[in-house]
Amino acid sequence: MSQTVLECRPGCGACCIAPSISSPIPGMPDGKPAGVRCIQLLEDNRCAIFGRPERPAVCGGLQPSPEMCGASQGEALAWLTRLEQATHPGA
């Protein structure tokens, strides 16, 4: 059975806003809290360090999927926010 490869929705950027990132990001040495826009997210919601070695490993590990991305940026933000809350220590 083949798996459908999903590409990021142009202009979305939800995965660069909703989750917290604990590893350093260029310009954000302490990572970023959940719900905060990554400093590397460009105005058009593309990652300025995509494919570069300084991009956190957690970012490269997050792959788009129909479940995560939904039908809109709003759905993606909501799904990722719920995931963040469910996996937060003490949740």
If you average pLDDT over every residue of the chain, what do you get? Answer: 90
Domain ranges of the chain: 14-87
Tell me how far apart the alpha carbons of residues 11 and 77 are, in angstroms, rounded to a whole number.
13
Question: In this predicted structure, what is the pLDDT of residue 87?
Answer: 86
Q: Sorting pLDDT into bands at 50, 70 and 90, what band is 4?
A: low
For residues 13-32, average pLDDT: 96
33-53 pLDDT, tens digit each = 999 999 999 999 999 999 999
* Closest listed residue to residue 43, CA positions, set 78, 64, 13: 13
Q: Alpha helix (H) ranges present in 1-72? A: 57-61, 66-69
Tell me how far apart the alpha carbons of residues 74 and 55 are, in angstroms, rounded to a whole number.
24
Question: In this predicted structure, what is the pLDDT of residue 5?
Answer: 58
> Strand, coil or helix: what is 62?
coil
Model-level pTM? 0.85
